[in-house]
Amino acid sequence: MDLYPLKFDPILKERLWGGTKLKEVLGKEITSDITGESWELSGVAGDVSLVANGELQGISLQELIEKYPEDLLGKSVVDRFGREFPILIKFIDAKQDLSIQLHPNDELAKKRHNSFGKTEMWYIMDADQDAELIVGFNKNVSKTQYSNSIEEDKLLDLLNYEKVKEGDTFFINTGKIHAIGAGVMLAEIQQTSDVTYRVFDFNRKDKNGNLRELHTNLALDAIDYERKEDFKVTYAQNEDTVNTMVSCPYFNTNFLNLTQPLELDIAQRDSFSIYMCVDGSATISNNFGKANLKKGQTVLIPAKSNNLHINTTNAKLLEVTI
């Protein structure tokens, strides 16, 4: 099969904290005023992405993996993850603060939920004035101090706040307490996992008047209580080249700030490649076809590809591989 650049139908998710920027800024076809997430590329059971372009339109990502595992994913990826797509790609719009939460590591997630853990990264695409994130603690804390803060409703006093602007990038290790703040729209790259431990939700109620479930006890053994300056990503933004952003065991992400066409030889990559357009537009071609990409869209380049041509005069792209 000639595996051309594949685009997928967004899977849109209403969230208590969602808004309308996914429509207003990224052009997603939403009708709700509380759409918080657009899952761009997902192998999560029950939310598997469907191809949106070309002769494979309507075919699910999982079906493609079953038919063309190594051609689509790469042999090294199949050897490691089998026929499970290993990452989840999203755009997120937070009109309100998200709940304060964290994610377990692989070992704990496997033991408790038969799942991967959830290491993730965020690229800020849009931020209201004074918008901020919560990332980690503002000092080292003990489990006892943390537990007391939960009981006394003083958790917010222990948390680290980071003001953000477009282009800021954050790497969120498993165990790190965090929350996306109101007024932030971002691109998220994460391990394929939907395991989240919610520890504080500002005492909000859902549309039925109920408080959302908290995972206080599950979180206790999953939290990293140490204050660490390991979350802000410093990266080059040189034009018309590949700039390294994040390299970790679960994904590698690069930043492409393009003002002219770019040719990439990816024959030896042995991994699929994902391009998220975070600004501008481009046409991306491999040996078998092409796909047009604009801000807020994502394309999957099969591992079988040898050469990649990105035709643009103005595009900012996140390149993701395994």
As annotated, the active-site residues are 198
d(CA 218, CA 199): 9
- Asked whether 160 and 230 are in contact (CB, 8 A), the reply is no
Distance CA 182, CA 127 (A): 9
- For the chain, helix, strand, coil in percent to 5 are 15, 40, 45
Q: In Å, how far from its chain's centre is CA 16? A: 19
Backbone φ and ψ for 123, nearest 5 degrees, come out as -115, 120
Asked if residue 49 lies in contact with residue 39, where contact means CB atoms within 8 angstroms, the answer is: yes
- How far apart, in whole angstroms, are the C-alpha atoms of residue 219 and residue 221? 6
Give 168's DSSP letter. -
